[in-house]
Amino acid sequence: MVTILQLIVSGLTVGAIYALVAVGFTLIYRASGIFNFAQGEFFMLGGMLAGIAMASYGLSYPVAALLACVITVIFGLALFLLGINPARSASPIQLLILTIGASLLARGLASAILGKDFVRLPQLLPWDVWRIGGVVIQVQAVAIVAGAFLIVSAMGIFLSRALTGKAIVAVAANTVGAQLVGINRVAVISLCFALSALIGSLGGILATPITLTSYDTGVMLAIKGFTGAMLGGVGKPYGPVIGGLLVGLLEAFGAGFLSSVYKDALALVVLLLVFALFPQGIFASRSVERV
Amino acid sequence: MLKVEQLGIRFGGVVALDGVSFSVAEGEIYALIGPNGAGKTTLFNCVSGLYVPTGGSVFLDGADISSLKPFERARRGMTRTFQNLQIFEHMTVVENVMAGARIHEKGGILAHMLGLRSVKAQNAATRRQALAHLDQVGIADLADQMAGAQSYGVVKRLEIARALATQPRVLMLDEPVAGCNAIETAEVDAVIRDVARMGVTVVLVEHDMHMVMGLADRVHVLNQGRTLAVGTPEEIRRNAAVIEAYLGATEAADA
Amino acid sequence: MRNKLASPYAPPVIIAASIVLISCLPLTNFQVRMATLLFIFSTVVLGKNLLMGYAGQISLGHGAFFGLGAYTVAIGAARYGLSPWLLTAMSLPAAGVIAWIIGRPILKLRGYHLAMATLAFGSIFAMVLTNAVHITGGPDGMALDMAAVRLFGMTPRWSWYWICGGVLVLAMYLLASLLDSPTGREMRAIHDSEIAAGVLGIDVAQAKLRAFVISAVFTTLAGCCFVMFDRYITPQSAGILRSIEFVTMTVVGGLGSAIGSIIGAAIFVVLPQFLTVFHEYEQAILGLILVIIMVLLPKGIAPSLAGWLRSRRASSC
């Protein structure tokens, strides 16, 4: 029983990260139809930059975190404004390849400039672990889940209450219609990229104390986040969150009961199963294509 | 040749088609008309297999094809053109038509990859036939131009030539002269008459009343997913219910 | 002359002639090796071009087929003492069957979903290669113990130059014939409009599957050549990065262009040599190239070049 609870805890922890990736990915996808393969790199950059800033340049935790977020957001904006927006005539697959290129670029620069070692960050809160009835809970894990919850809630409130947020929803629902009522599509999508990058870097900073980050961690994060988004469905706002958590739980239980070596493969198998069984996500409603 | 029984389809809560039936004889030209949103293209899509209806059946030459996919229906002799034009942009005009002849071409993939002489000979024969079809619709001089660069009127006729290359028994045309000028319309009209004379059954959806009334043997009027009236062009022209559906009740009272 | 150039068989002839011409130049050993690698990767890109450029389907998992060919030869030779040539001959139909089995369900997906599904398969295969240490030698890879090949008394280096060059020309010939055939027209039709292809009687699912199988077999063959040439194989050759590199080569060189395939492969093979100083930045530069090409020349180098030449000729008339 304790083992099961332990697995649930670790599954939710890791799942919270995947949920954040899924949310960031969905934000961009719904507003612009772009499949951002570089989503995972936002997390990687956040963690790596903050870690190196502290270790090599002696900056304090808050300053390093702020710096990391700023640089990541700049990267996200550059990706859209310099890469994707100019490539207007490109097909969706060409844009996907563009984001793959951006992901490679980020990874390459990170490995060359920041090094190939794993990077560490200190915990957010002073305690190390809590023990509740035989279950060991890392405090940072709680910070991750709480942080993710706060971020997603803030996003939700922003999208439904703030005027700018509603503009994003409008563009997501009907791009031409939104433009016709005066919403600047480029500005809105730039904002989505910036927000997505911000969510990513915050997530990376929260996660690094437990998971450690290296230049390489972005790709699997992106794939698992995408799996979460597919599982939950991009139609409903809470879909990606539930999907991400589910992926985390499945991974934890898979690692616990089946094999920890192939735990990454488990997420991939889940992805394939989702494609096979629920092509439009578990929570999405069916739709018909008009000819 | 073609028989449709009680075809119905719903999208979510919307009933787009409700119990539509008709039958078309071999070599007949059958027109589907109706106000916008009446369900003409939906009916087309159901009959050609692009949509799966929630009820009803489709029979081709006596055989029930209701469960067949579009490509299977094409192999039985039913093909169609598209309202929103689905030509192969990156292929030349003649290659588009040659693609239509695919189901009549032979050879396994190995023979194709080895480039055997028989394959090359077949290519030449297919090209000759394709040129003949292009000639039939009057665009043979554009044979080696890229299809994606052609004007609307040319593309409309290309679609028909391509459909003819399948040697269909039933040819379904979705708004074949939409957006065409008077000359182009007359040319397409002549092509359709030729095709029907060869024994091909033609079903068309059109908004151009003048053309439809002059061309069709029988007309089927749809309104809000249901059959409103079926008859010869003269009968339909005089049908009060049809006039009301198109023009509104007060206009009908004045007519 | 212009008509001859437009013949679908022009590329294989040009390349065959180039291979012969280049062999007459005074090349260093290193350059011969580069050329041989170029031939091998060009074969992969040709197959991918068929799948992506003509049939219009994307695959981010072809590294797996490359690894399948290479590891089949390596493992078969090491554990069962079979001849690498025999193993190569066996791996091709095996790859075809595997591609057929995977392709049937996977090709029902579109666009991004297909990309991710192929990525998933490729990644899983690479993970197995890395972790099944007893069989595959794990992350360090494994060696191929093979007698030196001497074609007509040439050195092994030159023998492989001609063998891989021959494979490339054969692949180009097969591809050219295919495209000028009913199957080829079928695939090109599907690329532009699957719906229209369907109502013309084309079995879209079958055609996509055929393109997938052919590209898989080409890639597997290249993998076999690679391991026999290099005498060594690591899981990196079959991983996500390798799959992405294949896609990069295909897209950068130009979809739908046989010569483009070779240009794309050339950039990938030759570039690291110019970057010896910047070796660390290799991944970053690859990514940068990808981004720049997608923004400026989304059709790829060869078609953009051809288009530019065409417009110049038109304006000078």
| B147 & B192 share domain | no
Residue A284 domain-assigned (yes or no): no
Contact C201 B90 (CB under 8 A): no
Q: Which of B167, B190, B219 is the last residue of a domain?
A: B167
Per-residue pLDDT of chain B (255 residues; tens, 9 = 90+): 888 888 888 887 788 888 888 889 888 999 998 887 778 888 888 998 888 888 888 998 888 888 888 899 999 999 999 888 889 998 999 999 999 999 998 888 888 989 888 999 999 999 999 999 999 888 888 888 899 888 888 888 899 999 999 999 999 999 888 888 888 888 888 889 988 888 899 999 988 888 888 888 999 988 888 888 888 888 888 887 777 777 654 444 444
Condensed to tens digits (0 to 9), the pLDDT of residues A57-115 reads 888 888 888 999 999 999 999 999 888 888 777 777 788 888 989 998 999 888 888 87
Inspect the interface and report whether the beta carbons of C185 and B82 lie closer than 8 Å: no
pLDDT score for A234: 65
Distance, in angstroms, between A206 CA and closest chain C CA? 26
Tell me the whole-structure pTM to 2 decimals. Answer: 0.87
Nearest to B109 among C183, C185, C203 (CB): C183
H-only helix segments in chain C = 2-6, 10-24, 29-49, 63-80, 84-106, 111-131, 133-136, 156-179, 182-192, 194-199, 204-230, 240-253, 258-274, 282-296, 301-316
CA distance C241 to C283: 9
Number of domains in chain A: 1
Please check whether residue A290 touches B, CB under 8 A. no
Tokens read off for C154:
């040439």
pLDDT, residue A213, reads 83
pLDDT of residue A38: 92
Indicate whether A288 belongs to any domain.
no
Q: Are residues B105 and B69 part of one domain?
A: no
Chain B residues in contact with A91 by the CB 8 A cut-off are: none
Q: Which residue has the tokens 């915050």?
A: A202
A223, A271 Cβ separation under 8 angstroms: yes
* Domain residue ranges of chain C, discontinuous segments joined by +: 2-240
Counting as low any pLDDT under 50, the low residues of chain C are 1-2, 317
Decide if A78 touches C, using CB distance below 8 A.
Answer: no
The whole domain housing B185 covers: 1-77+168-255
What number of other Cβ atoms are within 10 A of residue C16's Cβ?
A: 17
Supply the DSSP symbol for B91. S
Q: How far is A38 from chain C (nearest CA, A)?
A: 11
Q: Residue C200, SS3? A: coil
Nearest to A47, CA basis, from A198, A225, A208: A208
Of A100, A112, A226, the CB nearest to C284: A112
A112–C281 CB contact, under 8 Å:
yes
Confidence of residue A141 (pLDDT cuts 50, 70, 90): confident
Q: Which residues of A touch C290 (CB under 8 A)?
A: 97-98, 100-101, 104-105
Q: Quick one: B104 and B209 in the same domain? A: no
In a domain, B82, yes or no: no
- Answer yes or no: do B177 and B248 share one domain: yes
Domain with residue B240: its CATH number is 3.40.50.300
B185, B59: one domain: yes
Distance CA A272, CA C121 (A): 8
Does any domain span residue A24? yes
- Dihedral sign computed on CA atoms, order C134, C139, C143, C149: positive
Whether chain C has a CB inside 8 Å of the CB on A287: the answer is no
Residues of C in contact with A247 (CB under 8 A): none
Q: Is residue B124 part of a domain?
A: yes
Residue A289 reports pLDDT greater than 50: no
B31 touches chain C (CB under 8 A): no
Whether residue B183 sits in one domain with residue B60: yes
Task: Look at residues B117, B147, B167 and tell me which one is the last residue of a structural domain.
Answer: B167
Residue A49 lies in a domain: yes
CATH number for position A95: 1.10.3470
User: Residue C69 contacts by C-beta under 8 Å, 6 or more apart in sequence?
Assistant: C88, C91, C95, C219, C220, C221, C222, C223, C224, C226, C227
Of B173, B11, C192, nearest to A289 by C-alpha is: B11
Alpha helices in chain B (DSSP H): 40-48, 70-76, 93-100, 109-114, 117-137, 152-164, 182-197, 209-215, 233-238, 240-247, 249-254
Based on DSSP, count helices (H) and strands (E) in chain B, helices before strands: 11, 10
Q: How far is C153 from chain A (nearest CA, A)?
A: 44
Verify whether the Cβ–Cβ distance B112 to C196 is below 8 Å.
no
- Supply the Cα-derived Rg of chain A in whole angstroms: 19
For residues B208 and B229, state if they share a domain.
yes
At B25, give phi and psi (nearest 5°).
Answer: -85, 160
The per-residue pLDDT for A291 is 41
Both B68 and B194 in a single domain?
yes
Determine how many CB atoms are found less than 10 A away from the CB of residue A113: 14
Could you give the number of structural domains in chain B?
2
Nearest to B155 by CA among B78, B88, B71, B80: B88
Task: Tokens for B148, please give them.
Answer: 């994606």
Instruction: Say whether residue A28 is in contact with chain C using an 8 A CB cutoff.
Output: no
Chain B hits for C174, Cβ within 8 Å? 113-114
- Does the beta-carbon distance from B166 to C201 stay under 8 Å? yes
| Domain-located, residue B83 | no
pLDDT recorded at residue C215: 94
Top pLDDT among A286 and B166 is at: B166
Of A33-37, A130-134, B167-171, the poorest mean pLDDT is in A130-134
| 8-state DSSP, C238 | G
> How far is the C-alpha of A270 from the C-alpha of A249, rounded, in Å?
12
Residues B149/B91, Cβ–Cβ less than 8 Å: no
**For residue C4, what pLDDT is reported?**
56
Which positions ≥6 away from A275 have C-beta within 8 Å?
A: A230, C109, C113, C116, C117
Q: Please, are residues A199 and A41 in contact by the beta-carbon 8 Å criterion?
A: no
Q: Is C314 exposed, middle or buried (0-12, 13-18, 19+ CB in 10 A)?
A: exposed
Minimum CA–CA partner of C175 in chain B = B113
Would you say residue B92 lies in a domain? yes
> How deeply is C206 buried, as exposed, middle or buried, from its count of CB atoms within 10 A (0-12, 13-18, 19+)?
middle
Q: Report angle CA B12, B15, B21 to the nearest 5 degrees.
A: 135
Provide the 10 A C-beta neighbour count for residue A263.
18
Token pair 């069984």 is at which residue? A277
Distance CA A147, CA A158 (A): 16
Distance, in Å, from the CA atom of B191 to the CA atom of C86, rounded to the nearest integer, reads 59
